[in-house]
Structures are given as C-alpha cells and as structure tokens.
A = this chain, B = another copy of it.
Amino acid sequence: MKYNQYAYVKTDYKTQVEELLQIKFLPSAYQKLSFGALLAELTANTVAVIAPDAKSARNAKLAEFAVSDSERLSDFLDTAPEKIDCSQFYNVALQLLGYHVGYDYQLSEPLKFMQKQGLPYVKNIGDKKHLIQAFYRLLNTRAKNGQLLIDVMAGEGYFYNRRNQFAKNKFLFFNGKSMPIFDTSKVIREVVYVESDLDTDGDGKSDLLQTTIFRPIESENLPVPALYTASPYFGGMIDNEQRNHNVDENLSDATEWTNPQYQAAPVVKAKKPLADSKESYKPVEQAVGKSSYGLNEYMLARGFASVSAGAIGTRGSDGLRITGAPEETESAKEIIEWLHGDRIAYTDRSRQHETKATWCNKKIGMTGRSYLGTLQIAIATTGVAGLKTVISEAAISSWYDYYREHGLVIAPEDCQGEDLDMLAETCQSNLWDAGDYLKIKPKFDEMQKVLLKKADRKTGQYSDFWEKRNYRHHTENIKCSWISVHGLNDWNVKPKNVYKIWQKVKNLPIQQHLFLHQGPHYNMNNLVSIDFTDLMNLWLVHELLGIENNAYEQWPTVLVQDNLKADKWHDEDDWSNSIGTETVYFPTDNNELTKDANGMQKVSFTDLGGTEFKKAKISENDWQYQFICGNPKWTKASLRYTTDEFIHPVTIVGRPEIRMRVSSSLNKGQISVALVEMGDRKRLTATPKILMPGEQELGFHFKVDSLQEFMPDRLTHAKLITKAHMNLQNYQDMKKPAKIKAGDFYDLQFELQPTYYTMPVGSKLCLIIYSTDQGMTKRPLEKTVYTVDLAKTAIKFSLK
C-alpha cells in the first residue's frame, strides 16, 4: 500500500538548512560537528519523547536502533563513521517512521520495503550535506500512521520540549506548513451570541445565534485565521427517524402540482458595529469540549481558530430551522460577518455586552461535510467579505438533488421517508431548552406544516420552493477559492451535487480543486493513499496566512481515487464527459448490450412496488445487492442488458445519459436505470478500514485521529456504478409535469449520476431498467406494467 505524498514542497538545500535551524532540529554549530556526531545528534532529536538536554537518556535511546542485522546504531556511532550507507540509514529511518523490524521489514532489505510503501529516499549519504538533506526529507516523510514524521514528533513533545526556544506568538512554518507550536493545554473555548438581521421566530426581536470558538491562547496577542464550520447539528440532533414519512404508497398524478412558492421570514435590522468602537467585553460562557471536526482540531494546534455555529433554530440560538432556505444561508453567513468585524455579537442572550472577534485576522476558511459542507456552498454563493476559501465535503448543491430527482421523491441512501421537514426538526434543537420550547413550539409546529406542504411529497416536482434552495444559480457571486471533496459511492448526497456545481465553479476566476474518493458519505482526511490533511495545511497557510508556499502549483486540479487500486490516484484537469470519448451502447433483443445495433422488440416488465420486498424482510441494502447481482426473485421486475467481457480496462467518466421510449399500464409511472459492473472478484471495502485506531496525535496531548483506507475485501458478484430515476410525467420538461395516457409510449432522456469507474478486464457492464428502487423511490402498492421500445433505447457515456 503506497503512502502517496502530494504536499511535499521541493526545497533547495539552503532553505532546508534554514528551516531545520528554525525548528531547532539542526544544531546551530552543525558545521563543526563530525559526520558521526551530527548523525547521533539528529537521530536523537527525532526521539522527541526525551528532553533535549538529557544526554544519557538520548544516548541510551540510540542503542534501540539498528543499522544492520548485526549492528546497533550506538555501536556504529562508536566507530566514528564518516558516512552511512543508504540501507544503514533507512534501517534507522524506518524505525523512526514507526515500522517494526522483523514484522514490517527486514534489516537486510530496508529499501525494498520503502519502495513498496512509496517512501522517498536519498541514495548517497556520503557527507554531512546529504545527511542533512536526508533528514529534511525524512521529517517530511509520512510515517506508518500516515502523519509526517515531524507531526509524529510533535505529538511526542518535540515542540513542547523546545517551547522556550521559539519566538512567542508567532507561526512556525516547515516545508510550507504550519507547525503545532501552539499551546493546546490552554486553548480558549468560549461562546458568544451573534445578532442576526432575521427574526425567523417572529417575536419582533432579531434572532441571536450562539457561536462557539476554540482558539489558541496565543491569539490574545496574534491575530489568527478562523476555520468556521457551520453545523446545524452542533446543538444536538433530535432523533425523529421513527416517524419518517410513509413511502409505501402509490404515485400521484404529478399534474396536481401547484408550484409552491418560497415564502420569506420576517427581517429586522440588527445594530451595526461602529467603525471606531473598540469596546469589547470578554465572553463569559465557556464551551464544553466537544469533539469537533478532526481537520479543525489539527489546524487548531497549528494556530487556526475553530469556530462552530448551528445558526437559526439550534440550541442556544433563537429562531426556526428552515432547512435549505435563504434564511438558513443568511444566518450561517452572519457568523462570518461577525468574525470579519461587520456585525455585532453579545456575551449572552440579555444583549447587554457587546463582544468582538479581536483575535481574528479577518481571514476565514470553512470546513465540514454533508450539511456542513452544503452551508459552505450556500455561503460562498453570497460572496460574503472575509471568506477566503471553502473545503466543502460531500455537500448538497441543490436541495432538490438531495430529496428529489427528475420529478420523483427520491430518498438519500438509508433515509427512506426522510424529507426536508424532518431534517429541519432534527436541527431544531432549541426545543430542548424548556424556556425556549414554550415560545418556539407553536411556531415550529406551524413551520413544519409549511415545509411538508411546500416540499410537495405528493408530486415530487421542481418548484419555486426548491429553486430558492438551489445554490448553483448564484455561483457568479463566489469570490473565495474552492475545494470540493466527494465520494464516488455517495448515495446519500449523490455525486450529481458536486458534479453540477463543479461545471460552474471550474470556469470562475478563482483557484479550484476537486477530490473524488471511493467512499460513500464520508470524509477522506486520514487515508493512507493521500496526504489530504497535509495538503489542507499547505492550502490554508497560503489562503489564510498569505504565505507563498507553492500551494497553487502543488497538486492537480482534479484527483480521483481508483476503484480497483485504492493507492492509485488519477490526475485530471477536469471531471466531465469531455475528458473521455462519447460511446453509445444499445440493448438487443437477446439481452445484450452492444455498440452495434438496437434490438427491435418492445419488451415489458411488471413492477410490484414494495409488495415482495416488504414480505422478504430484508434491508434496502441487501435488496439492492441481490437485485444488481441478478437474484431471480428481484430481477423479474426489470430488464437487463449485458456486454461481453471487457478485454481491456476502460474507465467510464462523467454522466451517462439514457434515452428510451417507454409506456406504462397506468397514467403515471417511475423509471429507474442502473449501470452495474458484473464480475466475481474481491472489491474494495465500502468504507475505509480503520488501520491504526487513535494513533494520530493532532497536537501534543491533544485530540487523536485514525489512519484508514479502502482495503481489498471479500468476493462480491457485482457493483453498482451509477443510477438515476425519472417520472414519466416529466417526459416533456423536467420542471413541469404533463398528463400521460396508459399504454401510450413516451420518449424519455435523462442523465445518470456522474461517475469515474474503471471496468477491469473480464468484467461486464450491465444496463438495468426497472421501476421501484426499494431504498429510494416510493414503493407503490399497485402493479404496473412497463413496456420499453428497444428500437428507441440507448445509453451514451464517455470512456477513457
């Protein structure tokens, strides 16, 4: 398994020496030391658990290393060496990197092991210059736990032990990244209340928004950037899953659609900060140490404040949760306005004492996944001042694409029956405080009714309600730089969300990056195969501290994790159909899928909705796996067309598009289409496997994280590549339903979720046409016969 490394900045020898002196690794008198003395000194320095002035302890540790299968480092040093062999050096280095002799590697062949792990090494270490270069590279090499060695050393006390040797209240950079020299034992954790321009609970007073800040104590004297995570879950999550909406119901006639309109909440004008007022009260409320997002904690140890806020409706804040609405964006954005000095906040809800973010350098980045990533997109599209960059993971770019698709109610994976109203309730955690409950509950009940009605589960159609929840129509306002991260197997927030906004963001005059990993609804901070956390360090130092560290040239615009080998990442300039070549496949009368010619038959299948599924008492995921594998119990309700085995690997990129002519036995209908890779083989785990639990120290005696990676797993028969669903009544217009007649044929054309999927040699591609998707669509109670005219059916996609 290769430890790929993208965040290592190429550095000349002179700069290497300067930096090593700055971090107090290279002794200032290094030029006077012999080769052997320098080797001893630098090796002992890497043993960060020992106090730098404890000579006997440092020497004793040198006996715990070996340079070969017969010689300890201490004995080698006793020979007063003038040089060290590459394999001798890396026997010691591998041990420093956390590998275990005899178990991970053999003392006789260290380089062979390093090549396997993709670890860099210096070939000739015949003099002090090369020795220094080798150590510089080693400190910036990823250890077994996935972290850079310098970060491992930091977790063992390297910087803590030398804390008096560094300038107070300054950032320290090494190879372009900020080092964890901030005192994590004294982090300031405080709560303030930002005053909004909104009055979503309609009490005539501006809503106050509880905001939690974790910041280094050094920020009392050194303005620091803020990493802001807008988390609607921060106040707690109301567990209402058990009352998810019923999905076991027939489709409705979509023409009953009334185009529900977005309705704005009341606004008030909050007091604005006076430009010349310096008066600021100290916060009086402490934040309880919640485990927040790992990336924020990692950066906190490196001098970046971590700010969390739930905004309207969440615990400690006023107002109503109105998921996806412009009010939600506004309230979450207002926290940035306070951080930037453009809005006021109070020490408590009595609104008496104003408090300022004097500790902030007014440069703000955003982080977070899922809903927390979504709000980054929402806020970025306002162009708010102070927001310099977003690192948006698994984010929704249009709420219609989260709860709906092509005129149908489509659930996120594992969330059948959930809808926007329920998510709003999940986040309405200010109901938990009884005093707030008395005031909010009646208004909340009313808003819940509005949300349920306007979201229109009946027809599933697009409307003004959803249009106001589509951030993609405001991308022209984006001023900050942009990083998107998404799982190619994310069936919760489906990849279309990132794909469609990427098509706009990529053309903006900003710096932008995209990472696509092989996970589901997940983040990728600690993968073996990529040094994502280090990249983010480099990026944030560049964007929020203004340090020139090559961050813009350091890695490709798009990086895509391979679906066959987890430690292979593809470099791309873009993610779109245009990076491949258009190819069209046709279903034949013999259930083949070929490039040659269409079938001519009209073929039917009978959909039974959820009837059989409910009887089987299996999970939705089990159903899906059995269905794509071709279990006859389920495939009756589908048409399936399969290619020959691929004799060369090919990669499907972008969004496949299906066109088909179809009729329904009723005057309504839903069509689902899936592309599946068929073939018995060991595929990667669906989620990364935790490899070294809790072994990444994010600072000194601070939070921890765990290395993980997708690993080869047990044999499976098939894998879903992509799918899509469509309402027949939208055959004319995706945004407007039409009447259809039972038995009449209609031409559909729609895109599947985007992908980047390599078909291995020997696999087959299968196109499945069906209707009820047990985990996502409504599950009708009635029988429907669908007939497909193969002569007018084809699937088109890009191959590379």
Binding site for B on A (CB under 8 A): 49-51, 54, 56-57, 59-66, 69-74, 91-92, 95, 100-103, 107, 155-157, 160-161, 185-187, 189, 191, 238-239, 284-289, 291, 347-350, 352-353, 431-438, 441, 694, 697, 700-702, 704
Question: Given contacts A238-B103, A433-B65, are A60 and B349 in contact (CB under 8 A)?
Answer: yes
Question: Given contacts A49-B285, A286-B156, A431-B102, are A60 and B350 in contact (CB under 8 A)?
Answer: yes
Q: Is the CB of B347 within 8 A of A57?
A: yes
Offer 10 A-B interface pairs, CB within 8 angstroms, sorted by A. A49-B288, A50-B285, A62-B435, A69-B438, A72-B434, A101-B433, A155-B289, A157-B286, A289-B700, A289-B704
Instruction: Tell me the bound Cα distance from A741 to B162 in angstroms.
Output: 75
Instruction: Tell me the bound Cα distance from A695 to B562 in angstroms.
Output: 38
Minimum Cβ distance to chain B for residue A3 (Å)? 19
Question: Given contacts A59-B350, A60-B349, A350-B59, are A284 and B434 in contact (CB under 8 A)?
Answer: no
Question: Given contacts A65-B435, A103-B432, A431-B102, are A49 and B286 in contact (CB under 8 A)?
Answer: yes
Chain B residues within an 8 Å CB radius of A694: 291
Instruction: Name which residue of chain B comes closest to A105, CB basis.
Output: B434
Q: Is the CB of A433 within 8 A of B49?
A: no
Instruction: Name which residue of chain B comes closest to A94, CB basis.
Output: B434
Q: Is the CB of A697 within 8 A of B434?
A: no
Q: Is the CB of B74 within 8 A of A435?
A: yes
Q: Is the CB of B347 within 8 A of A54?
A: yes
Q: Is the CB of B435 within 8 A of A64?
A: yes
Known A50-B286, A72-B435, A157-B288; 6 more pairs at CB < 8 Å? A51-B285, A56-B353, A61-B348, A65-B434, A95-B434, A156-B288
Instruction: Name which residue of chain B comes closest to A189, CB basis.
Output: B701
Give the 5 A-B residue pairs with the shortest CB-CB distance, closest first.
Answer: A54-B284, A66-B434, A57-B348, A64-B433, A289-B701
Question: Given contacts A64-B433, A433-B64, are A56 and B285 in contact (CB under 8 A)?
Answer: no
Q: Is the CB of B101 within 8 A of A432?
A: yes
Instruction: Name which residue of chain B comes closest to A289, CB basis.
Output: B701
Q: Is the CB of B349 within 8 A of A49?
A: no
Instruction: Name which residue of chain B comes closest to A433, CB basis.
Output: B64
Chain B residues within an 8 Å CB radius of A160: 286
Question: Given contacts A433-B64, A435-B72, are A50 and B284 in contact (CB under 8 A)?
Answer: yes
Instruction: Tell me the bound Cα distance from A189 to B160 in angstroms.
Output: 13
Instruction: Tell me the bound Cα distance from A149 to B65 in angstroms.
Output: 50
Chain B residues within an 8 Å CB radius of A60: 348-350
Minimum Cβ distance to chain B for residue A14 (Å)? 33
Q: Is the CB of B437 within 8 A of A66?
A: yes
A66: contacting residue among B349, B438, B700, CB under 8 A: B438
Instruction: Tell me the bound Cα distance from A276 to B485 in angstroms.
Output: 65
Instruction: Name which residue of chain B comes closest to A98, CB basis.
Output: B432
Instruction: Name which residue of chain B comes closest to A193, CB basis.
Output: B60
Q: Is the CB of A100 within 8 A of B431?
A: yes
Chain B residues within an 8 Å CB radius of A288: 49, 155-157, 697
Chain B residues within an 8 Å CB radius of A57: 284-285, 347-350
Chain B residues within an 8 Å CB radius of A62: 435
Q: Is the CB of B95 within 8 A of A433?
A: yes
Q: Is the CB of A101 within 8 A of B434?
A: yes
Instruction: Tell me the bound Cα distance from A65 to B63 in angstroms.
Output: 63
Q: Is the CB of B64 within 8 A of A434?
A: yes
Chain B residues within an 8 Å CB radius of A284: 50-51, 54, 57
Q: Is the CB of B238 within 8 A of A291?
A: no
Interface centre among A286, A349, A441, by most B CB within 10 Å? A286
Minimum Cβ distance to chain B for residue A301 (Å)? 13
Q: Is the CB of A286 within 8 A of B161?
A: yes
Chain B residues within an 8 Å CB radius of A434: 64-66, 72, 91-92, 95, 101, 107
Instruction: Name which residue of chain B comes closest to A186, CB basis.
Output: B185
Chain B residues within an 8 Å CB radius of A185: 185-186
Instruction: Tell me the bound Cα distance from A578 to B440 in angstroms.
Output: 60
Minimum Cβ distance to chain B for residue A34 (Å)? 22
Instruction: Tell me the bound Cα distance from A50 to B287 in angstroms.
Output: 9
Chain B residues within an 8 Å CB radius of A436: 64
Minimum Cβ distance to chain B for residue A528 (Å)? 17
Chain B residues within an 8 Å CB radius of A438: 66, 69-72
Instruction: Tell me the bound Cα distance from A548 to B497 in angstroms.
Output: 64
Chain B residues within an 8 Å CB radius of A700: 289
Instruction: Tell me the bound Cα distance from A101 to B431 in angstroms.
Output: 7
Chain B residues within an 8 Å CB radius of A437: 66, 101-102
Instruction: Tell me the bound Cα distance from A73 to B433 in angstroms.
Output: 11
Instruction: Tell me the bound Cα distance from A782 to B583 in angstroms.
Output: 60
Question: Given contacts A432-B100, A437-B102, are A704 and B291 in contact (CB under 8 A)?
Answer: yes
Chain B residues within an 8 Å CB radius of A155: 288-289
Chain B residues within an 8 Å CB radius of A287: 49
Q: Is the CB of B348 within 8 A of A435?
A: no
Chain B residues within an 8 Å CB radius of A70: 438
Instruction: Tell me the bound Cα distance from A327 to B355 in angstroms.
Output: 63
Instruction: Tell me the bound Cα distance from A101 to B61 in angstroms.
Output: 58
Minimum Cβ distance to chain B for residue A218 (Å)? 15
Chain B residues within an 8 Å CB radius of A63: 349, 435
Minimum Cβ distance to chain B for residue A212 (Å)? 11
Instruction: Tell me the bound Cα distance from A642 to B398 in angstroms.
Output: 62
Instruction: Tell me the bound Cα distance from A201 to B28 in angstroms.
Output: 41
A191: contacting residue among B49, B66, B103, B431, CB under 8 A: B49
Question: Given contacts A57-B347, A64-B436, A435-B74, are A441 and B285 in contact (CB under 8 A)?
Answer: no
Minimum Cβ distance to chain B for residue A535 (Å)? 25
Instruction: Tell me the bound Cα distance from A59 to B66 in angstroms.
Output: 65
Minimum Cβ distance to chain B for residue A484 (Å)? 29
Chain B residues within an 8 Å CB radius of A433: 64-65, 95, 101
Instruction: Name which residue of chain B comes closest to A288, CB basis.
Output: B156
Chain B residues within an 8 Å CB radius of A101: 431-434, 437
Chain B residues within an 8 Å CB radius of A51: 284-286
Instruction: Tell me the bound Cα distance from A673 to B189 in angstroms.
Output: 59
Instruction: Name which residue of chain B comes closest to A59, CB basis.
Output: B350
